[in-house]
Amino acid sequence: MADAVKLTDAYAPKSPEATRELYERWAESYDTDFVEAHNYEYHHGVASAFLAAGGSTDLVLDVGCGTGLVGVALRSRGVREVHGFDISPAMLAKAAEKTLDEGEPVYGELAEVDLTLSPTQRDRYPGIVSAGTFTHGHLGPDSLDNVLAMAASGGLLAIGVNSQLFNDEGGFGQWLSDAAQAGRITDGRVETVRVYADGLGATQDNDVGAANASGTVMLFRKA
Ligand SMILES: C[S@@+](CC[C@H](N)C(=O)[O-])C[C@H]1O[C@@H](n2cnc3c(N)ncnc32)[C@H](O)[C@@H]1O
């Protein structure tokens, strides 16, 4: 078996290339060794927050879609079409395998996209959701500009950010107030959701779990 990937590894990458390499290794075991083993449920919390806030049920982009958990959560709550972007081809391949009960693929489109770069697809999506991608060692608030550019005017975004990062040094709250002040977004607010069903986080095998047991969901509309 390949070396197990732990949360400490997941929080370590320092560049998009290092992130891609990590997830190329992790893709095969992510749904079992991480999601199932730790009762990970962040995707449900973010999907529910998005829809409760009036998010689109027509077309939603899942940024940092990974193996497709957010897509499944959205489709099972009635969203008709979900697209997914991710930097890791191996994670995208896992997302492509996800199907609804009747065999229809969960994702209508999947594409390899580095969210640290200015996007080619702009002003397209009436809804954008993300879970687990704005966290330690992954994406910072600068990438929110790229994600916002992909949204259609008036579209709702629900972006899950690691709460420790949001509260301590991440700069995400500052991004939210700056963007509102500049008139680029409206209706900005945050909610907290559970990342693990037991509320404790990935435990025993590392010491970062409990401190990262909640996610802050940034909710806002593109002006
Ligand atoms: C912890 S996983 C979360 C995956 C999925 N959203 C979930 O809920 O399970 C983080 C994902 O973000 C992706 N990612 C990290 N940096 C990225 C970047 N610069 N551009 C696009 N995707 C990125 C990784 O490849 C990985 O699939």
- pTM here is 0.93
DSSP annotation string for 101-133: TTS-BSEEEEEE--TTS--SS-S-EEEEEEEEE
pLDDT tens per residue, range 34-43: 899 888 999 9
Residues 6+ apart with CB under 8 A from 176: 185, 188, 190, 218, 220
Could you identify the atom of ligand 1 that is nearest to the CA of residue 88?
25
- Express each pLDDT in 182-219 by its tens digit: 999 999 999 999 998 865 544 544 444 566 788 999 99
The finding on whether 138 has its CB within 6 A of some atom of ligand 1 is: yes
Ligand 1 pocket member 160 (CB < 6 A): no
Considering only the top CATH level, what class is 7-222?
alpha beta
Per-residue model confidence (pLDDT) at position 37? 86
Ligand 1 site, residue 88, Cβ cutoff 6 A:
yes
